[in-house]
């Protein structure tokens, strides 16, 4: 049965992949995006699809959020400003977009009686909590305004479930990578930035000593988690779940793997540690496995192979 999914940030990296997945499954997709970070070319192939609607608007505009949720079955809320270091430079802006924008969408979904509201949280909410793996309910002191916004969003979502009965599910993404992730700009994620520079024969910069670890998560695993969360039982409502592969890779090992896969020998440059970054990231995904039936279909190395193929085809 065709259902209507509203995807905020639908022209972005994760959002556009969700649009594509749901359209391929025969659903009606309504994309809400103001193109501040999303890219028009990400959704260009969908514009001729009668099952796809585009609303060019900002989540800070409540009326636009309310209109977007009309007749919706599910909201997959991806819209936000990302990047820990950028949030440290722009805390007021992050509060306005990430917190107020999310609250606008929650209220619009409540008023429109949406069945389920799935939203993107982040591994940054774990802050300086030193224990590994990272487990829901065991968070530390927050290290950036971005992390604060994601934590507040989780609190509001839980409140909307307990107070108003809107079923919400939060997904704490761990270092997502894959096709359509933008390699440009000062705040680009590490894998697309490494790949784009290596393909151009340039030397990437590794912040810190390169021994910090990340639980890199391929995009298709994240798409699976969103759809599973949308349809999971009501016992998952009001909760948040880690979405990751459940492994650890050092940045220097990732860099070496990319060089080997591309057949290049380029020594990296090393820069200063980034303020606000978590040193080690490794997720316990047992709660998502138990409640959402989530199992990562793609390992880190399988995802890297797919990502390299995509960037070769689209950047070279």
Q: Average of pLDDT values for 82-94?
A: 94
Which pLDDT band holds residue 274 (cuts at 50, 70, 90)? confident
* pTM metric for this prediction: 0.95
Kindly list the distances between the CA atom of residue 191 and the CA atoms of 37, 216, 242, in Å, as whole numbers in the listed order: 18, 9, 20
Q: Average of pLDDT values for 214-226?
A: 97
Weakest mean pLDDT among 87-101, 134-148, 277-291: 277-291
Beta strands 74-77 and 4-8: pairing type? parallel
Q: Give me the pLDDT at residue 316, please.
A: 57
Is the pLDDT assigned to residue 15 strictly greater than 60?
A: yes
Is the pLDDT assigned to residue 211 strictly greater than 70?
A: yes
Residue 240's contacts (CB-CB under 8 Å, 6 or more residues apart) are 121, 136, 154, 157, 158, 169, 170, 171, 172
CATH of domain 4-174+218-246+278-298: 3.40.50.720
Q: Can 5 be counted among the known catalytic residues?
A: no
Planar angle of CA 18, 23, 27, nearest 5 degrees = 105
Q: Average of pLDDT values for 297-305?
A: 95
Q: Give me the pLDDT at residue 276, please.
A: 74
Average pLDDT along the chain: 94
Catalytic residue among 146, 160, 173, 311: 146
Q: Give me the pLDDT at residue 187, please.
A: 64
Is the pLDDT assigned to residue 151 strictly greater than 60?
A: yes
């Amino acid at each position: 049965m065709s259902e209507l999914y509203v995807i905020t940030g639908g022209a972005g990296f994760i959002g556009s992949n969700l649009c594509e997945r749901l359209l391929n499954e025969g659903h009606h997709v309504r994309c809400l995006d103001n193109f501040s970070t999303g890219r028009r070319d990400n959704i260009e192939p969908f514009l001729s699809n009668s099952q796809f609607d585009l609303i060019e608007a900002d989540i800070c505009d409540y009326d636009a959020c309310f209109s977007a949720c009309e007749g919706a079955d599910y909201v997959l809320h991806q819209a936000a400003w990302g990047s820990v270091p950028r949030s440290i430079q722009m805390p007021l802006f992050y509060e306005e977009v990430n917190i107020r924008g999310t609250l606008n969408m929650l209220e619009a979904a409540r008023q429109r009686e949406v069945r389920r509201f799935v939203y993107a949280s982040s591994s940054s909410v774990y802050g300086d909590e030193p224990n590994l793996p990272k487990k829901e309910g065991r968070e530390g002191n927050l290290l950036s305004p971005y992390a604060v916004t994601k934590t507040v969003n989780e609190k509001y979502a839980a409140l909307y479930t307990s107070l108003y009965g809107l079923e919400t599910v939060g997904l704490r993404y761990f270092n997502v990578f894959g096709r359509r992730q933008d390699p440009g700009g000062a705040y680009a994620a590490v894998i697309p930035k490494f790949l784009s520079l290596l393909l151009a024969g340039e030397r990437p910069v590794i912040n810190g000593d390169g021994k910090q670890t990340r639980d890199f998560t391929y995009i298709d695993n994240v798409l699976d988690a969103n759809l599973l969360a949308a349809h999971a039982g009501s016992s998952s409502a009001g909760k948040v779940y880690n979405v990751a592969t459940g492994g650890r890779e050092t940045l220097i090992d990732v860099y070496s793997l990319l060089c080997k896969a591309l057949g290049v020998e380029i020594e990296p440059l090393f820069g200063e540690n980034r303020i606000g970054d978590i040193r080690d990231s490794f997720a316990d995904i047992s709660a998502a496995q138990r409640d959402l039936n989530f199992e990562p279909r793609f390992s880190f190395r399988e995802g890297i192979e797919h990502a390299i193929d995509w960037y070769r085809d689209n950047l070279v």
